[in-house]
Chain A
Amino acid sequence: MFESFPKSFTIPSFKLPTFVSAVGAKLPQWPHAVVLTTGLNAAVKMRLLPEDSLELLEGKTFLVEVLDTGSHARFTFRGGLFRPLFKTGSPATSEGATVVDDLVFRANLSAFLQLVARQEDPDTLFFNRQLTIEGDTELGLVVKNMLDAVEWPKLPHFPGFATSSR
């Protein structure tokens, strides 16, 4: 009965309509940072993130901005944990201009999803101008390579979502 399922699931490239970001930017932004840092801290606790790379993140501030949803998450890494930062306003308006983030990633939702799913390589998205990286470039490379090196725990195998193999 599962034979009609696609062999593997791919995230398409898409851009949400502009009204989404107009609405999204007016919503509170703290939940995004809370969700993101909770996920990252789970990875820290499972020792999935290499410690020598984590040390380099100490005290740095990060901003992840999803352009077409109008949302962003600002957080830092301190004392072994990722912590959300709430104080400043949206970077899209200039309210957040008081904070200079060490590292800023900007992309549309589909690009971020493709990155998280390891469907696309960040360099590919960068070459194609779908991902921008501003601030401390070396820190950006540390983060990228740290996430690349993670061996995510294997999810249970569902028919239709089999990963490709030779």
Chain B
Amino acid sequence: MKKTRLKSRELFAIVVVVVGFKLADTTPAQYAQEGQNAFWLMPIISFLVIFPSFLLLMYLLKKYKDKNLIQLMMIILGRPLGTITGLVVFFIAYGLLIFDARNYADQTKLLYFPESPTPVILVIFLIVTFFGAKRGFQAIGTSTFVTLPYLKLSVFMLAVLIIQKVVWLRIFPIFGEGLGTILWEGAKRGATFSDLFIITIAYTAFKNGKTFSKGIYFGALFALFEIVFFFLLYTTLYDYNSIDKTAFPFHDITQYVNFGEFFTNVETFFMVFWLGAAFLRFIILVYLASWILGEVLYMDEFEPFILPLTFFIFPFSLLVENTILNELVWRNSLFIIATPIFILLPLILWVTAKAKGDLKKQ
């Protein structure tokens, strides 16, 4: 992949859209099932669990200049092993994509288009995604960067409106289900931040390692802050007995707020931005998944993969019967499986590289 003209700020925008968007889908509901009113602390745990491995990966990428995630794995582990682990990473990335597609289609249907069938919404969603992803990484990065301020402004507005209605004392009892549960369940969901690993496939597209690490670190921290802050708002708005009953807390609060007495029922305003962010997130992830697959299979051109990969999301994501099952059983299981993989992967790479003596050279 040749270099693009993208800078740190575009990467920052990509990370914030891909990771930070989780505050507005069903991730909070998943966390709340276990953590009750302390679930806002859990993303911090998830982040802390997975971040050291990520730092290690960044260190390796820096050492082996001009290699992206998969190329790194190929060099360190050798071709056969590298291909297998590369495929594992691809399947996790693609699997999360499939569940997310269903998730977003269901949310749009349940909340805004109750009469439309899910497949139709999904098809439209995927067509848009396909055309977006086809534009290439340069266009994706730039458009994400350009739209980010508007997306964040709408979210900020929502926070301002809802903050008058929250009751801060509801964060007590501070550990909710208990400190043990928070730590363990939080750690299990480290994969919430797995997208950071997937984004490293684009390492070579940026000018140098410094540009990349600046963008991704700031983006990750901002996304974490955003997620924790919104989870805190959900906790203090819903209280511990009701939070685990709400599947889409973000949409619920957009329905609850009004702009004063005159402008009521304003959720469609927020929906537009939400949908925009969902499209961007999908476009980025489909593009990165195709990239990973292209690298694993040693293809010079990976962009032809975009069409089939986008297309196959459709049948696979419709396999699951309903949203609740999709979310709480399948997506959750994938999260729990993916977490140790992403934690161990950089460690294995590092140990192998150390054993081979590669790290001493530079």
Q: Do A and B come from one complex?
A: no
